Amino acid sequence: MELTTLWFVIIAVLWIGYFVLEGFDFGVGMLLPVVGRGPDAEARRRVMINTIGPVWDGNEVWLIVAGGATFAAFPEWYATLFSGFYLPLLLILLALIGRGVAFEYRGTRDDPRWRARWDAVIVAGSLLPAVLWGVAFGNIVRGVRIDAQHEYAGTFFDLLNPYALVGGLTTLALFVTHGAVFLGLKTAGDVRTAARAALRWAAPAAVVLAVVFLGWTLLRQGDAVSWATGAVAAVALLGGLAAARAGRDGWAFTGLAVAIGFAVITLFVALFPDVMPSTIDPAYSLTTTNAASTPYTLRIMSWVAVVFTPIVLIYQGWTYWVFRRRLTAGQAGSSATI
């Protein structure tokens, strides 16, 4: 395998890790006003936030590494992507910053109005990236206006095309569903009951939107491999939701994780060998060849990845193992905790 192809695969794996892991904590954040309501609303919300408290910042490392790997391995792709998608990526960054601050500050005062304001920031900081990442990847796969100098020649409103907007709604619905399944796995009592109730309305929307978006993608530019990976994603999604209905929370979470992972694989397979197609002229498209760094740079990066990737995976796996037990309202702690 050529180094350019290898790093295209590595970047795809990093995005899979990000969407699978950050997807469920986006979902938990968006479900805060839905599952965390009632006479014991504050206790419920503390339980919900505590399920992702030990892991949410670690999940965002996948995004940082994906961005860094793109910058180092495919600098042309990085430059065109970040200049053309400047506004949506800035909105995502601001949302993630606000969300992180809210996690840290909501429990610093025992004041319902103070907590309510920060809870609103958590919801907005989860919802906005959940939608915009789908819009961004929809445009990357569909193609954008790239000129002969490999510069983005479109406007912000060109990014708001029907295909990309369906992609945004798809990631939104999938992440809400993933978050509900995660809460079913990680909590007990009233929070788990409310999460399962939320899943009953989130799951149908996720199935319909995922079928429409992946089907649209495959009909546009699918091949035998992408059709196969898309089929695996669909089967895993339906299997995960069936397991959730049967109360098999572990299998449900696994099914949703596999579904999201194979959905990302389908998008990257449909994209390859391009990394950013041009809708002006296919000859202007960025590919794994013309957007890549030098072979020497890619070799150095490959050795660094071989050494440090297992360390990161072992540490993050250990974190999830340590915090694997279910939480209840009685374990939520005081209002001064996260």
| Nearest by Cα to 146 from 274, 290, 291, 278 | 278
Domain at 226, CATH number: 1.20.1630.10
| Mean pLDDT on 79-86 | 90
Task: Count up the domains in the chain and report the number.
Answer: 1
Q: How confident is the model at residue 329 (pLDDT cuts 50, 70, 90)?
A: low
Indicate whether 337 belongs to any domain: no
Q: Using an 8 Å Cβ cutoff, are 213 and 174 in contact?
A: no
| Mean pLDDT on 271-296 | 91
More confident: 39 or 334 = 39
State residue 337's pLDDT score. 43
Question: pLDDT at residue 305 above 70?
Answer: yes
Terminal C-alpha separation, the chain: 46
State residue 41's pLDDT score. 83
DSSP tag of 36: S
Indicate whether 109 belongs to any domain: yes
Q: Using an 8 Å Cβ cutoff, are 11 and 276 in contact?
A: no
Indicate whether 132 belongs to any domain: yes
* Cα R_g (the chain), whole angstroms: 20
Which residues face 276 on adjacent strands? 286
pLDDT in tens, 89-121: 999 999 999 999 999 898 888 888 999 999 999
SS3 160: coil
Gap between the Cα atoms of 230 and 218, Å rounded: 8
Give the list of residues 6+ apart from residue 208 with CB closer than 8 angstroms, or none. Answer: none
SS3 226: helix
| Mean pLDDT on 176-184 | 95
What pTM, to 2 d.p., does this model score?
0.91
Q: How confident is the model at residue 336 (pLDDT cuts 50, 70, 90)?
A: very low
State residue 156's pLDDT score. 86
| Mean pLDDT on 115-142 | 94
State residue 335's pLDDT score. 41
Indicate whether 16 belongs to any domain: yes
State residue 317's pLDDT score. 84
Which has the minimum average pLDDT: 112-121, 163-172, 272-281, 302-311? 302-311
Q: Using an 8 Å Cβ cutoff, are 81 and 140 in contact?
A: yes
Indicate whether 256 belongs to any domain: yes
Name the residue range of residue 119's domain. Answer: 3-331
State residue 188's pLDDT score. 85
The phi and psi torsions of 287 (rounded to 5 degrees) equal -125, 175
Indicate whether 325 belongs to any domain: yes
Q: Token pair of 184, please?
A: 């079913």
Indicate whether 268 belongs to any domain: yes
Indicate whether 263 belongs to any domain: yes
Gap between the Cα atoms of 260 and 264, Å rounded: 6
State residue 175's pLDDT score. 96
Q: Using an 8 Å Cβ cutoff, are 122 and 32 in contact?
A: yes
